[in-house]
Amino acid sequence: MELGLLSNSLLNPAVHWTTLAPPLFSAMREHFNARIIMPPPMSVRRLRDWRAVRAEVTKCDVLFWMQYAHRPEPAVHLAAALKPSARRAAFAFDAWKMQIDKIGYSAVLHGLDPCFVAYREAVEELRERFPRGRFEWLPFGIDTHSFRPRAEGKSIFAFWMGRRDEPLHQALLRYCEKRGLAYVYSDRGSYSADELGRIASSAEYFLVTPPHPERSGGYSPLVMRYMEGLAAGTRLLGVLPKSGEYERLLPLNAICQVAPDGSDLDARLEADERDPDRRRAVEAACAYVREHHSWKRRAEQIHQRLAFDTAFEFPTIERQGFNGELRREAPMGAA
């Protein structure tokens, strides 16, 4: 298999993209000799660059890319069209409910084989509404270089990265101000990936909540934040998604669950601080996430699917609690 990875790195991607495609593509190039192809912006002045892209694309019999929802950037789409006979596959994230029709029609029209989707709820709906398509659940991976335990220790109490739920945010502000604790929260684009990982590692708690229903269309999926915090060696604090993905993939004893409005925050944190096993639980969860949910592991799973057309299995957590033992369930592609 000659695998080409169509990268948008020359197309001014969003800052958070650095923890998505780059670590995945690097792992696929390092371990499976895939070639990374970087289409330039669509401009007459870049014709020479486009000739080079075409030369690379024609060497591939499988093309793979990542996309926000129903389609990649036009330049990536054009690059994929330069070899019509190539098999195409993509990984769609932010597959919100209001995007399902577009994702489904696009995947069927372009013959994606398969279309990996980050959210289980979306996969179930896509399979039901588009039986001719090939949709498979593939949870996010983690940039384990940026998000890793560090030697600096825990110098801040809590860190909230990215979008915040205002009621819980305000409750945590009051909690920390009353006790003189350091609470750090990031604005979009204000930190590099490495800085975010460093801050996450230095926190006692890493805040997590599922996406707002108005943003997701009603889905409540497992997003990257849950895995990023654990990969950094930090205990989670927040709200579980309603999809059941967390309970299936991650240990429940690694998160301090609170009400979405923060009404029970004080009591929950006080009880959590009395738990003698909480640090040991986080250490075990950190090792587990880094082994089974890194982008390197996702690269292995994607390559297995594309090279051998075989479904891949993944370890799941016993619902009764994480005890360091794993069991295997249905193949990853099964919803």
Q: Where are the domains of the chain?
A: 3-137, 156-289
* Region label for 284, one of left (φ > 0), alpha (ψ between -120 and 50) or beta (otherwise): alpha
Structure confidence at residue 70 (pLDDT)? 82
CA distance 275 to 269: 10
The answer to whether the beta carbons of residues 141 and 120 sit under 8 Å apart is no
Torsion of Cα atoms, 308 then 311 then 317 then 319, to 10° = -170
- CA-based torsion, 13, 15, 20, 24: positive or negative: positive
Give start and end residues of each alpha helix (H) in 65-119: 74-81, 100-109
The answer to whether the beta carbons of residues 63 and 72 sit under 8 Å apart is no
Residues 6+ apart with CB under 8 A from 131: none
CA distance 263 to 318: 29
CA distance 102 to 225: 26
Topology of domain 156-289, per CATH? Rossmann fold (3.40.50)
Q: What distances in angstroms separate CA 313 from CA 93, 127, 136, 283, one per listed residue?
A: 20, 19, 12, 24
The answer to whether the beta carbons of residues 34 and 58 sit under 8 Å apart is no
- Whether 3-137 and 156-289 share one fold: the answer is yes
Name the nearest CA neighbour of 246 among 271, 224, 215, 268.
Answer: 224
Its pTM stands at 0.91
pLDDT per residue rounded down to tens, the chain (335 residues): 999 999 999 998 876 688 899 999 999 999 998 999 999 999 999 999 999 999 999 999 999 999 987 889 999 999 999 999 999 999 998 899 999 999 999 999 999 999 999 999 999 999 999 999 999 999 999 999 999 999 988 999 999 998 899 999 999 999 999 999 999 998 666 788 899 999 999 999 999 999 998 888 899 999 999 999 999 999 999 999 999 999 999 999 999 999 999 999 999 999 999 999 999 999 999 999 999 999 999 999 999 999 999 887 777 765 334 555 444 444 555 55
Structure confidence at residue 331 (pLDDT)? 52
Structure confidence at residue 235 (pLDDT)? 99
Please name every residue paired with 63 in a beta bridge, in sequence order, or none if there are none. Answer: 4, 88
Structure confidence at residue 322 (pLDDT)? 52
Class level of CATH domain 3-137: alpha beta
The answer to whether the beta carbons of residues 281 and 321 sit under 8 Å apart is no
Strands (E), the chain: 3-6, 35-37, 62-67, 87-92, 112-117, 135-137, 156-160, 183-185, 203-208, 235-238, 255-257, 313-316, 327-331
Identify the three-state secondary structure at position 40: coil
Q: What distances in angstroms separate CA 335 from CA 59, 319, 331, one per listed residue?
A: 34, 17, 9
